[in-house]
Amino acid sequence: MNASPALPIAEPRIFVVEGMTCAACAARIERVLQQVPGLDSAHVNLATNRAHVAAGPDFSDALVIEAIEDAGYAAARLDIHRPPGVPARAQNGEERIKARLLLATLLTLPVFVAEMGGHLFPALHHARADVVSDQAFGLLQAVLATLLLLGPGRDFFIGGYRAVKHASPDMNTLVSLGAGAAYLFSLVSLAGPAWLPEEARHLYFEPAMVIVTLVLLGRFIEGRARRRATDSIERLAALRPARCRVRRNGAVVEIRLEEVQRGDLIEIRPGERIPVDSDIVEGQSPIDESMLTGEPLPVLRGPGERVIGGTVNQTGALLIRARGLAQEGVLADIIRMVEAAQGSRLPIQALVDRITRLFVPGILLIAMLAFAGGLAFGPAPALPFALVNAIAVLIIACPCAMGLATPISLLIGTGRAAEAGILFRSGDALHRLAHIRHLAMDKTGTLTEGKPRITAEAIRSPLGADEVLRLTASAEARSEHPLAVALLEEARARGLALSEATDLAIAPGAGLRARVDGHAVHLGSSAYLSGAGIMVPADAIEMAGSQVHVAIDGTYAAAFVVADRLRADAGEAVEQLRALGLTLSIVTGDQPAGAKPVAEALGISDVTAGATPAGKVVALEALTKSGDGVGFVGDGINDAPVLAAADIGIAIGGGTDVAIGAADLVLMRHDLRALAQAIRMARATLRNIRENLAWAFGYNLALVPVAAGLFYPLFGWQLSPMLAALAMALSSVSVVLNALRLRVIS
């Protein structure tokens, strides 16, 4: 029987979309893309102006671009390996809005000053009337309004038409209907006053112009704020230099970062950044790796060692060999992970999408009802009253605020976390982290240093502690056993000169014997020494950890205790996690004798020791039966099964050694306190989203009825379309500004 062919794996692709103005735009593009044959998934992010799709390798990008363009927008495939710097499209779009706003302001200002100033200061009105008659001033307003609507305001009408054409009205539809209605009514009142009752002959050119100008102002401010919110990836990319010097064909040439090839020899001077992940060929220098590990002290690197792109060479000159291209390596992986997290969506976004899909049609219906109600029940003259109410409803409704509420907070929250070395694989990972209530932790390398050290010694030989250690370490010099490594590191730390060991005989799992400088050295377990005829005192030493007993020339000489020390930050980190309301457990493969002292030192009572990788999964499943969200913290490599089984798997590591693909959350700093910081960030981000949604929905629930004139019979309230435009512009800006508060969380 032949095996069925494997299905092609869907690959993520990102497209920059131009022309989106509100949540309805994003929803329309998303619906169109979901109908494209061959796409596995598609979602659109209003905050980043990007469409994220997944499709097989044979799928053509042209189909996505064509679908987006058919919906009335422009699109282009985003090169995720683009060089550092602001994309030209973003710069051009920002400059275009700025130019439109400036022109709109210049056209609006004379009308606004004359009209509004005349209402506030009657003398100004009389002075204007003495110079320009009301009829001539009306014609001037008509000319300026026409220029504004055909110029800076043209995109609203084009976008509104396209939206209606695709049966999906959006914010452009609302603005164009509101401003257009005021403009057309004013033209009728000016050119054909006989068609209207005398009391209804009013000009509304000023509101139409102010509406467009204020909406443009809101978009400009919002765009600037969103640029500030979305620059975390650019700041990460900017850690790499734009140019570097390479040796080619016997000469040193300066090239752009994108031109670096695998195997290139690159010269690095003191103070320069490493351009790409490389291996040192010549030279030695301290390297500032704080952008990865958070460690403030530079690490001395020499020939044969790896250096990471984006880190900073300190004092020495280096010659390095490129391991890969600019779009490869640790920093590139970080950028891709941050971009994926920022482009993802939270579960709550599905509800927001369903609401915003109905929002604009609902507002159009309310505007028609407000117009009809104003005509039927409004004060005389009823027609202008009804028109003002309908326009105010169209203008004040703001789907932008609702559409931005979730993605803008997620964007800033994950970006701020990335700057702190906290990498979320997706927005859903942030959501799950915020809701965990139980945290299980591995011991070795997470709560402890992961490097066995000598923690105690008992010397009974007249040779003295240093000489006994020197002979012991010399006998272990060729061994890679963790206990041997601990003895060798302690000897080096004391500056002891080791000697060559001869006649070496190893008993695996028990001990060894050797001859060092004429001395017969036995070391290992007490049983090993007893088997060699050496008596081990009953009270040799009693401390938690692995014991190494030593005999010299047949006489018991010393005992060393080797243990994995508790991390210096572990106690503080555990207290911070408890302060966040988490219940803590230790699940480790170490034996109870090694796990118990660590648990007691940290005050953790729930300990599962001696667990195999499968046993850790079983222990975690038992914890999840409580119904609380359970996270697991491990090294991201050996704990892969349990990391995958947890509600959220958290890998903690030291930058280059961390397994980015093994967990939902990666802590680049090998500091457990970063986990408490990550949880605070996740909770603050979700709280910020709830605040944004409460404001966005509350704003519309509170002001749409006012704009519709429902409170006019009770309090005489009628909302000016100009104030409605100002309120609408400020609503989306306020959501972005509230999200920007996440930049200061820690």
Q: State whether residue 381 is helix, strand or coil.
A: coil
Residue of 327, 358, 123, 361 lying closest to 237 (CA atoms) = 327
Contacts of 66 (CB under 8 A, 6+ apart): none
3-state helix, strand, coil in the chain (%, to 5): 50, 20, 30
Can you tell me whether residue 617 is helix, strand or coil? helix
Q: How far apart are CA 254 and CA 422, in angstroms?
A: 34
Residues whose CB falls within 8 Å of the CB of residue 5, separated by 6 or more in sequence, listed in order: none
Instruction: Work out whether strand 74-77 and strand 11-18 pair parallel, antiparallel, or are unpaired.
Output: antiparallel
Reduced to 3 states, what is the DSSP secondary structure of residue 107?
A: helix
Report the C-alpha gap between 737 and 176 in whole angstroms: 26
The helix or strand, by DSSP H or E, that contains position 44, with its residue range, turns out to be strand 39-45
Number of Cβ within a 10 Å radius of residue 443: 23
d(CA 161, CA 217): 22
Among 155, 277, 288, 442, the active-site one is 442
**β partners of residue 563:** 453
Task: Look up residue 441 and give its amino acid.
Answer: M
CA distance 88 to 557: 74
Query: What does the DSSP 8-state code read for residue 566?
Result: E
The H-or-E segment that residue 623 falls in is: helix 613-624
Tokens encoding 401? 């605020």
Give 647's DSSP letter: S
Yes or no: say if 48 and 230 are a contact pair by the CB < 8 Å rule. yes
- How many other CB atoms are there within 10 angstroms of residue 199's CB atom? 11
Give every CB contact of residue 187 below 8 A, 6+ residues apart in sequence.
142
336, 492, 412: which is closest to 682 by C-alpha?
412
In three-state secondary structure terms, 516 is: strand
Two tokens, residue 340: 């994926």
Residue pointed to by tokens 């305001």: 153
Tokens of 445: 């390398």
Nearest to 315 by CA among 272, 282, 349, 347: 272
Give all strands (DSSP E) within 426-500, no chain letters: 436-441, 448-459
Cis check: omega of the bond before 84, within 30 degrees of 0: no
Based on the residue annotation, tell me whether 170 is a catalytic residue of this protein.
no
Find, among 339, 435, 485, 397, the residue nearest to 627 by Cα: 435
DSSP at 157: H
| Residues noted as catalytic | 442
